[in-house]
Every structure is written in structure tokens, then in C-alpha cells.
Amino acid sequence: MKIDIESLSKSDFKPKYKSEESLGFGKIFTDRMFVIKYEKGAWQEPATIKKFSPVILDPSAICLHYGQTIFEGMKAYRTEDSHINLFRPEKNAARFNSSARRMMMVEFPPDAFIDGIKELLVLEKDWAPKSPGTSLYIRPTMIGTEPGLGVRPSTDYIFYIILSPSGPYFPEGFQCVKIFVSEFYIRAAPGGTGSAKTGGNYAASLLVGKEAEEHGCSQVLWLDAISKKYVEEVGASNIFFVYEDDIYTAPLTLGTILPGVTRESTIQLAKDMGFTVKEEALSIETVIEGIHSGKIAEVFMSGTAASIAPVGSLYYQNKEHIINNFEIGDISSKLYRTLSDIQYGRVDDHYGWIVPVC
């Protein structure tokens, strides 16, 4: 793929953030973005790396009315010697295209996906923060831009990549979070769009998110849509339960769960630490009983933005159920440390997961 790099004038450069402690998540963006359009049945080369600027859309654009939008969440990790690492980017490129197929959008070539990210990172690397737990969050996005109100797949698309220097996703950092179990609303049904990374899945979660907040919870735990009995996933991540020494996470088979890159990596790391990992659905009743009997010793989330994040309690049926005295468990800590050590280049990556960029 050919990429034109537009030069920026002095006034195009934004002032850098003042402190890494107050970055938050996804609040500020770097100076440049990567953009390429799909028109007349083909990706229109050259792609451009240009000043970070608004995307101009026809008010009738299909993405705005019928939700043809997909995205990925990735991170660039700054190593101690100031190099930049990507983590399994080929997995994100593949998942992006799987989301595209489900949403009847065009696919983007995986090599170009990774090259676009790398080229942009080379130019923007000074924006990558250094403090522990921070990263340069990467958001590849594609939207259907064809104007018109007929319900149909768009003929035209924009694919773009933006970068956001970010702190930990949860403001509390690596600390236990409270989770609200949604008993009425559902996230995804078999045959729906649950396994695609598309905006509508997140929009549908906002109403319960508000209810969760009212109970002091920062995330929602979704149950399966049919029986409302089995635990599936959390709004911004997958979820794991340590139950009688084995580790459980919901299976991907019904297509209702986002196939997380961190989920897959966590399963691998846990197996290599000697744990048995079962991709089996646990019922919410088993989980609540397990929390009270002590059979569930730990619960943790996994996601790109969230990394490994321990869960301190579940709010279910008007009651807070406290896990492990609201303390971070050893397995969550070990997985968090091992995963971050690989991502930040502090240990040898014998999995071949790291792609060094610059």
C-alpha cells in the first residue's frame, strides 16, 4: 500500500499533555491520523497520513443511520529503552475483517492494516507515555459513508486510525472494581452481532451502564439472552472465574461473545502456569454460591483497554456479593504481571506475540 505523508505546519502540532498521571482513557489524540477511502469497488491508494481532523460526512451517510461502523482496540507499549511494541496486531486485523463480514462491510487487507499502524506510530511515537500502566491506545475504525436512506450495505467506506495517549482504562488502576449484573437487558443473542466489534453493541449497553453507576459499579456483567442464567461477558472486556482451582470463561461458540485477543492470550498464559482453563458457561447462581462458599476465589476481566482487571464484587438481585474480601487475588496479579512484562518488553517473548515497531 502506498502512503502519502502530508507535512504539518508548526501550528498543526498540539501542545503535549502536561502529566501522564492525568491522561485518563481516550481523551486526547495525537497530531496525525491515517486515512484511506474505499470507492468504486476498490481501496483508493495512496492512503494518507495527515493532520488529525474531523471526518466530513453526508448527513444521510449509512453509518449514521444504520450503524455500519466497526473498530478495533489495540495498544502501542513503550519499552524501558524507549522502543515501541505492538501486541499480536495480526489478531486485531483478522477480527476487524470478521466484524466487517458480519456487518456487510468491505474487508481491509491485514498487511495494510498493520503497515498503516506502524507508519503512523513511527511519526507519532513521542506521544507514547512512559509511566507504568500507560500506553498509546490505537483505534482503527471503518464506517460506511455512502449517502442515502435505503437500508442497504454502503458502497463507500472510510478506514482510519487514530491514536490516544492513555492511562489505565479503570481510573482506579490495578484495583478491584465493582460489577453490576444485568438481569433484564441483554447484550447479544445467538445469531446477533455480539462477536463483532461494532458501535451498536456498545450503544445498547449504555442504559444499563447508567443503572450500574447508580449502584457504584463501573461495568456491567451480561447474562445469556435466552435463559438469563449463564454469565457471558462484561461491557468492555471478557471475564474469568477461578472456581475450585480451575479457571472458567464463557465459550465463543454461540457467537455472543467478543473473541478477545487478551482473552486468548490469558488462556494461553494460565495454561502455561499449570492451570486448567475451561471454556464453559457458569451459571450466575453457581457464581454467587461460589463467592459465598469460597469456591470462587477470584474473578478478573481481560481486555486490551482493561488489561487484566480484578473484580471485587458483583451486584446481583439488589445485593453486593463481595469476592475474596475485595482483595486482588494471586492469579489475577500473576497474569497481569506476566502479560504486562511481555507487552512492555521486560521479559523475553517466547510466544512471538510482540511486533517491535521502532
- Give me the residues that bind ligand COI (CB under 6 A), please: 73, 202, 236, 303-306
Q: How far is the CB of 350 from ligand COI (least distance, A)?
A: 25
Q: How far is the CB of 163 from ligand COI (least distance, A)?
A: 13
**248 and 278 Cβ atoms separated by less than 8 Å:** yes
Q: Which CB, 262 or 286, lies closer to ligand COI?
A: 262
Q: Which CB, 170 or 243, lies closer to ligand COI?
A: 170
CA distance linking residue 219 with residue 235, whole number of Å: 6
In the complex, residue closest to ligand COI by CB: 73
CA distance linking residue 311 with residue 291, whole number of Å: 12
Q: Which CB, 76 or 296, lies closer to ligand COI?
A: 76
Q: Which CB, 135 or 338, lies closer to ligand COI?
A: 135
Q: Is the dihedral of CA 289, 295, 298, 302 positive or negative?
A: negative
**170 and 218 Cβ atoms separated by less than 8 Å:** yes
Beta strands 219-223 and 177-181 are: parallel
Q: How far is the CB of 12 from ligand COI (least distance, A)?
A: 27
Q: Which CB, 194 or 303, lies closer to ligand COI?
A: 303
Q: Which CB, 233 or 298, lies closer to ligand COI?
A: 233
Give the three-class secondary structure for 106: coil
Return the number of other C-beta atoms located less than 10 Å from residue 22's C-beta: 9
**241 and 282 Cβ atoms separated by less than 8 Å:** yes
Q: How far is the CB of 301 from ligand COI (least distance, A)?
A: 10
Q: How far is the CB of 300 from ligand COI (least distance, A)?
A: 14
Q: How far is the CB of 259 from ligand COI (least distance, A)?
A: 12
- List phi, psi (to 5°) of 91: -70, -40
Buried residues in 282-296 as b, exposed as e (16+ CB within 10 A): bebebbbebbeeeeb
Q: How far is the CB of 237 from ligand COI (least distance, A)?
A: 6
DSSP class of residue 282 equals P
Q: What are the grid coordinates assigned to 4, written together?
A: 502519502
Q: How far is the CB of 99 from ligand COI (least distance, A)?
A: 11
Q: Which CB, 99 or 338, lies closer to ligand COI?
A: 99
Residues 6 or more apart in contact with residue 20 via CB below 8 angstroms: 129, 130, 131, 134, 165, 167
Q: Which CB, 270 or 301, lies closer to ligand COI?
A: 301
